[in-house]
A and B are shown apart, each in its own frame.
Chain A
Amino acid sequence: MNHEKYKQWMILENYNELSEKHVIELREHLDVCENCRKEFLSLNNDLEKFSKEFKFKNEDRILNEARKDLRQLIVEKKYTAVSKKRDNGLFSFIFQPKLRLAFGGVAIFFLGFILSFLLLNNSNENPLLPENNVKNISYLNEDGMRLNNIHFVYTDNNTGDIRVTFEAVKPVTVMGNIKDKNIQNILMYSMLEEKNPGTRLNTINFIKNESNNTIDEEVKQTIITVVKYDKNPGVRMEALKLLNSFQLSKDVKDALIYVVMNDDNSAMRIGAINKLAEATNNGLLLHNKDKYQLKRKLTLDNNNYVKLRVKKVLEGN
């Protein structure tokens, strides 16, 4: 047997980079080879230590200093260093005694060309000049405007100017029902982008109460995305319950299989496999690809109930 090959596969398996076929082969090998089993455990142990034990302190301080240095460099570079250095190099080249005459005419031609270009082209403003960023802030006085995340971005030591960044937030009210495109866009944005999991959860519950088991296709796809990828298991679970209330179309079925195969939360896997079992009782037939995946789950899942339900679904097919 090629143990070296399996050692390499162990690393790939650890990083979820091994193909399904090779995972099965590796598992079979580990069942019969004690040395490789030990090696596998030892590798997992070491890689875990690399993750847990190697950390840097003062990350935020270093980041802040790096940002400050970069700002300074940008300002300095714009006003002095680069242009001066380049000018010196250029003039010293042109004024070499032997080349003076030859380059004089050429230089005058190019100088004229460049000057006319600069005069005629109005779009050559320096994008980094701070003056370009001074905004009219009278709108901050509007009713309901709130300022968040205020922080001082830059203090110019020469002029004493202070630059401040903030988020200016104004509440907006939109009215309509769940079929309105604007409302749907807000709901989708809230499910995908809102940082607060409570808000994401509320959005899903709102859809559940208002949808009457029918939903716009785009919103459904968003719910599927939440079921598969939301970081919060509570949000995923509510999204799964909502998804289970819809008709079992192909994309819903694929999402359920994805959850069974990939979600690390056993309650999620159970929720998904139960829906598939129910659908199987009602005549759902799985494709061979789906069956292959579920068979793999039957051997690899660490939850006996999930295994039992997977077996039931496969028997029904």
Chain B
Amino acid sequence: MALSDKDLINEYLQGNSLAFEELIYRYDRFVLITALQFCGNENDAKDIYQDVFIRVINGLPKFKFQSEFSTWLYRITVNVCLTHSSKVKTKKEEYLSSIDNEDDENNLSEIFIADDGEYSPELNAENSDISEKIGDAINYLSPKERMCFILKHYSGYKIREISKMMKCKDGTIKKYLFNGIRKLRHQLKKYDFA
């Protein structure tokens, strides 16, 4: 009989690191897929993955089992994705302010696409036009709209569950979702996709 998450956590805290690996293997695909969908970039997704599980390692000794381990993990994943997104934004702004005025716009856009961890679905999404366009369109959403859409549409969570993960009210989540879907459809119409 497979050990429960609680058993595995207790085993891990008593020194069995294989128990931790088994625990990770149960849920890490979700973490990675969510990160990939969120940032559309393999390297950033791996960073997020690492960051999530390092936080889990640090947090496990204090974990009181007041919620399911999976719920806690998903909440961390959402937080790390959103934090990562704001870090990318700050990095971009810092870079913009430090850039020499003589640099022309073309150079700037090239640098951002290559280096700043912005959404770049062309690196990972399946090699189809439509997939890339959807990836591009998702990029137009704000981080919270993007996260709501991913959790609802791709992961199939209930609005109530998403509101707990993102620590918002149900109404706020609905607003993000409505706006997100509206923007996505609008964007895709531009591509003559819809």
The interface of chain A, by Cβ under 8 A from chain B, is 8, 11-12, 15, 17, 42-43, 45-47, 49-51, 53-59, 62-63, 65-67, 69-70, 73-74, 77, 125-130, 132-133, 153, 163, 165, 189, 193
Contact = CB atoms under 8 A, between A and B. Distances in A.
B20 A128 contact: yes
B62 to A, nearest CB: 14
A80 to B, nearest CB: 15
A129 B184 CA distance: 47
B32 interface: yes
A46 B128 contact: no
Contacts, number: 120
Contacts of A132: 15-17
Given A132-B15, A132-B17, A165-B18, A50 B184 contact: yes
A67 B24 contact: yes
Nearest to A51: B153
A11 B130 contact: no
Interface of B: 1-2, 12-18, 20-22, 24-25, 28-29, 32-33, 36-37, 42, 45-46, 49-50, 53-54, 57, 124-128, 130-131, 134-135, 138, 152-154, 158-159, 174, 177-178, 181, 184-185, 188, 193-194
Contacts of A56: 33, 36-37, 124-126
A47 B126 contact: no
Contact of A12 (B13, B25, B174): B174
B126 A133 contact: no
A129 B131 contact: no
Given A17-B158, A54-B154, A189-B1, 4 more contacts: A58-B124, A62-B42, A66-B50, A69-B46
Contact of B127 (A57, A65, A125): A57
Contact of A69 (B50, B124, B193): B50
B46 A66 contact: yes
Contacts of B18: 133, 153, 163, 165
Nearest to A8: B178
Contacts of A53: 128, 130-131, 134
Given A11-B177, A11-B178, A66-B32, A129 B134 contact: no
Contacts of B127: 57
Contacts of A15: 152-153, 159
Contacts of B16: 127, 132-133
Given A56-B126, A57-B125, A153 B50 contact: no
Contacts of A126: 15
A187 B70 CA distance: 27
A51 to B, nearest CB: 7
Contact of A8 (B126, B158, B159, B174): B174
Given A57-B126, A73-B50, A127 B134 contact: no
Contact of B50 (A17, A47, A63, A70): A70
30 contacts: A11-B177, A15-B152, A17-B158, A43-B185, A46-B188, A49-B130, A49-B193, A51-B153, A53-B131, A54-B135, A54-B154, A56-B126, A57-B125, A59-B32, A59-B36, A65-B46, A66-B32, A66-B45, A66-B46, A66-B50, A70-B49, A74-B57, A77-B54, A127-B12, A127-B20, A128-B57, A130-B17, A153-B18, A153-B21, A193-B2
B55 to A, nearest CB: 12
Contacts of A67: 24-25, 28
Contacts of A45: 194
A49 B192 CA distance: 13
Nearest to B46: A66
A127 B60 CA distance: 11
